[in-house]
Structure 1
């Protein structure tokens, strides 16, 4: 009975890193990744259930949260299984005298897919113009890609890519503080309050990611297990907490107030409409063509009037000829 209740985590033994990697994840780090995966997966299921009780036109923030949760769940499942990693020679020897460190590129793939969805939620709540939103999302992707390249480079050139990522990250923070928040001030007081909470929270939490990089993949100061805990806490705040807050606020704020009511998209064909809508569409079409039909009938009537008709004298009755 005890053997049934006890469940050992064998992921690090079933999927061990390469023998050349001497700084790698242990069972304790894998346990933390499994716990984080479970929390993210359950939160994502909660977003799916919550979306079922919201009209489709109001689900844009639910859909973004569901997408972020699904991508993050895949990334954390991969890392918990001790997969999606590569060995990179360390530049510094602070931890275990240096060597070859296990770097999880799956983490950066997850960030590449997740972070733009979280960022888009903030900008849409703020009422920022779409060109600014797209520019900010592009900068966020540059930030993630630059950090991924920095993580897998073993020489000092990694800090060049780190600098590229920091520059892109500052552009994102600039748009959050100096564009998104002033835009939110033009909206109602309750929306402005929520946007301030979002911007403050994301700016502070995302400021800690470069520090975590410097202590783990960059500077080899902490162990991979401590790296998992550091990144994991930041991801838990960025994903389940922030996304749940987005869902909570969106249920109290209609899409019309945010200018996100996508009601004027492609119109369905008349044949695919219900009978009542089909009849209304047909009547509307007849009403539009009615003036043209009347003008044509008027022209025909004028042509057939006595003033414009010709009289054939041969066919005049005899009693009318005087």
Structure 2
């Protein structure tokens, strides 16, 4: 006879034993990195570049026409001014046609608390032809002001050298990593070089031009002040646009376009028309400039024996 306790034991043996199951944890969150950002030219910027190209070509033609009825010995201002807008027109054509730019990319790291960091690239379009333009045209503008003031060769050469250093260090800064000491270090050197340009042109030029009389002194003071104020705006715009990336590329192009029109065609017209009506600004260049080398060895009327 089977006792009740034996039945209970047999029931326990046939009953499945309860097992402990681990509670599933939360599914790990996947952080998708931000897509790479490209700050580049748009439709407004493209149109602005082509308009500036046409305007610089037209200005070059006007300056060339103004020089036709001027003796070769007195064309130095006309030649320098015409070359300035010719170089600018080539630069704008290169940028507008899309063959004179490069992206400068900076890696930006994004922090997500307890989750792994991610990163993405921020790339801004840099127009290197703009710096080539400045490296060629700003020395020509300095040369015009130096000739107008009667500045000596030493100060003129130092002003041009400081200007070239300013432009080249600005180019290095444009391709430096954003927010780094390299980026803003080159920018600082560029600004310091510009102070030497102000010293040689603004201070020494104002002192030297007094020997040419009050009329030329007033003209030089107006042109130099106008030029230096505009040139001061360039590094400010650079710091906001290319430096801190606070404006779009199209806005940057528009601002630089206005500055270029003022410093090249407008300033050039101002200088040439003032030079035509003010005899004291005449610079007579003979020798090779007016006669070339073909006349060497010939006896000209009025030459001393």
**Bin for the TM-score computed over the shorter chain:** 0.7 to 0.9
Deviation track 1:251-291 (CA, whole Å, cap 9, x = no partner) reads: 1234xx457322355682446x7xxx48x87xx75xxxxxx
Change (3 A) 1:223 1:98: farther
1:192 is matched with which residue?
A: 217
Higher helix share: 1
Matched, 1:108 2:135: no
1:39-118 equivalent positions in 2, closer than 5 A:
39-90=55-106, 99-118=122-141
Matched, 1:268 2:291: no
Change (3 A) 1:113 1:138: same
Gaps of at least 5 residues in structure 1 are 1-19, 286-322
Matched, 1:134 2:160: no
Contact 2:275 2:281 survives alignment (8 Å): no
Contact 1:127 1:258 survives alignment (8 Å): no
Matched, 1:241 2:266: yes
1:167-186 equivalent positions in 2, closer than 5 A:
167-186=192-211
Corresponding residue SS for 2:250: helix
Gaps of at least 5 residues in structure 2 are 1-35, 110-119
| Cα deviation, residue 88, structure 1 | 0.4
| Cα deviation, residue 200, structure 1 | 0.9
In the aligned structure 1, how far is the partner of 2:170 from the partner of 2:297? 51
Larger Rg: 2
2:43 is matched with which residue?
A: 27
TM-score when scaled to structure 2? 0.77
In the aligned structure 1, how far is the partner of 2:234 from the partner of 2:102? 20
Deviation track 1:97-141 (CA, whole Å, cap 9, x = no partner) reads: 971110000100011010110111111111111110011011001
Count of aligned pairs between the two proteins: 254
Corresponding residue SS for 1:178: helix
Change (3 A) 1:81 1:128: same
Contact 2:37 2:121 survives alignment (8 Å): no
1:38 is matched with which residue?
A: 54
Contact 1:75 1:107 survives alignment (8 Å): yes
In the aligned structure 2, how far is the partner of 1:236 from the partner of 1:91? 35
Contact 1:205 1:238 survives alignment (8 Å): yes
Deviation track 1:49-72 (CA, whole Å, cap 9, x = no partner) reads: 111111100100000011111100
Quote the RMSD (CA, aligned, Å). Answer: 2.3
Q: Select the residue among 233, 237, 242 that pairs with 1:212.
A: 237
In the aligned structure 1, how far is the partner of 2:296 from the partner of 2:269? 38
Moved over 3 A (4+): 90-93, 257-260, 264-267
Q: Select the residue among 225, 230, 235 that pairs with 2:255.
A: 230
Matched, 1:122 2:145: yes
Higher strand share: 2
Change (3 A) 1:187 1:78: same
Contact 1:71 1:110 survives alignment (8 Å): yes
In the aligned structure 2, how far is the partner of 1:134 from the partner of 1:259? 21
Change (3 A) 1:163 1:39: same
